[in-house]
Structure 1
């Protein structure tokens, strides 16, 4: 079996050791799902993206956490685009990533050094009721409102301090029958802040979650009456995003920086 290139990129940040680290593995064709999962488990990052070149500016992409394949991942798509542009794709106006379940994601350079913009299909939030289990997940905290999207549950809290100080119950979150739980509130220096928890997918707290903002952007656009918003994810590493609601699309803008480049040595398999 051939060795594979491996890149590790910090996404939604302009500095090393910030944002959300993702592995990017360009492949001529997707390996078996078993092997991709083994590689993602070995990488032990929140996401590993596998990318196949299909034509000029056209790619297939799949994402794996340490435990499972996911429907959509924003930060690993940003990481993949960063690798492709830095590896000789500077002549490409746009990159189109075809996914299995989330449509086609379009990525292009944005205004400002090292910025990229990503266009995703909007995840429309639907208001729902709180529950005893959700309050248990929030360590007894009562949310102001609760919404659900295609993958996640969103609890809107009163203020940024509640988001920052929350010590969630990961065991209960893992039993919510959703990909995970997002908590969010108005921000002090940005329009909104959030934290994201996905213990059922092997990630207790994700540093910066692009896919969550396809749900948070329309939610806060409606609450604040504006279509262009600034966001900060309040994980230990932290991350910054510019979000824009564009009809049925959400545009996220952020930066990325490469941490390492190497090889996955599979020749002994």
Structure 2
């Protein structure tokens, strides 16, 4: 049977078993959509990146959750390029990757940091009551109203649409008790896939934001460290003037409440966004792939 080399790479961290694990298949040419979806399900990461040849860029990346394909995934992009850099497939400098969001630039630094162009973020304010959001997140409505007077809720999309919900203090975000069914219904009502709740109250002094991300519509209960969410939120707070102009880089901390802490760096003018982070391979092996005409529920053996 056909086999492929697969990896799990922890993204937005340099420490193994922290950050956000992404599946990576660095040679995915010839795999069908059903095979990619089955591999993503077997690896069990929230997203898996599949690297294939491209006529328009240095390579093409496709991204699958265990349930569906998505246009773009920040942590899987970081993870894939970190793995390619470790293997000597890519060198320090600029590269291009084709995605469903178009051809985007990627830069690898000598220390292994990967920066990716998220393109332009689409932002739109939503008419959603604070009570609805508070009930879904399991927080007191005052924690949202307090900051919501100056910063409205909005949907930000840089490849994955997040409902951006500002929370006043860290203790309230940490104490959230999210109702996944309510979050899914709320997100569906505003054409978002998940909730990205954030506060300016952080653990680390160098951080700009602390965030938590819940995306039950994509099969993700809580995402550890979220590139697309950080990109959208960074553009959002920059566009609304919520951070001082002297702050050159937005630093987002996330994942602490599920023991997967990590950091996302965001450079943005409020529209175009670059996201940066490290990645470390934690598992490397060979996976047996079912034939393309096998039943979609066929077994994959690791």
TM over 0.5: yes
Moved over 4 A (4+): none
Is the CA contact (8 Å cut-off) linking 2:40 and 2:47 kept in structure 1?
Answer: yes
| Equivalent in the alignment of 2:284 | 261
1:1-269 to 2 correspondences below 5 Å: 1-54=1-54, 58-91=58-91, 93-100=93-100, 102-110=101-109, 113-131=111-129, 132-142=131-141, 143=144, 144=148, 145-150=152-157, 151-175=161-185, 176-177=187-188, 178-188=192-202, 189=205, 190-221=207-238, 222-226=241-245, 227-235=248-256, 236=258, 237-246=260-269, 248-266=271-289
Aligned equivalents of 1:261 and 1:53: distance in 2? 21
Aligned equivalents of 1:6 and 1:76: distance in 2? 13
| Equivalent in the alignment of 2:299 | none
Change (3 A) 1:64 1:267: closer
Could you tell me the TM-score, scaled by structure 2's length? 0.82
Structure 1: unaligned runs, 5 residues or longer: none
1:92 positional shift: 5.5
Aligned equivalents of 1:66 and 1:7: distance in 2? 15
Change (3 A) 1:193 1:210: same
Could you tell me the TM-score, scaled by structure 1's length? 0.91
1:130 positional shift: 2.6
Mean Cα displacement is larger for which, 228-237 or 164-173? Answer: 228-237
Is the CA contact (8 Å cut-off) linking 2:235 and 2:272 kept in structure 1?
Answer: no
Mean Cα displacement is larger for which, 127-136 or 10-19? Answer: 127-136
Aligned equivalents of 1:42 and 1:248: distance in 2? 36
Is the CA contact (8 Å cut-off) linking 1:36 and 1:64 kept in structure 2?
Answer: yes
Change (3 A) 1:241 1:108: same
Change (3 A) 1:137 1:106: same
1:30 positional shift: 4.8
Is the CA contact (8 Å cut-off) linking 1:47 and 1:64 kept in structure 2?
Answer: yes
What RMSD over aligned residues (CA atoms) do the two structures have, in Å?
2.1
Aligned equivalents of 1:70 and 1:136: distance in 2? 28
Change (3 A) 1:141 1:57: same
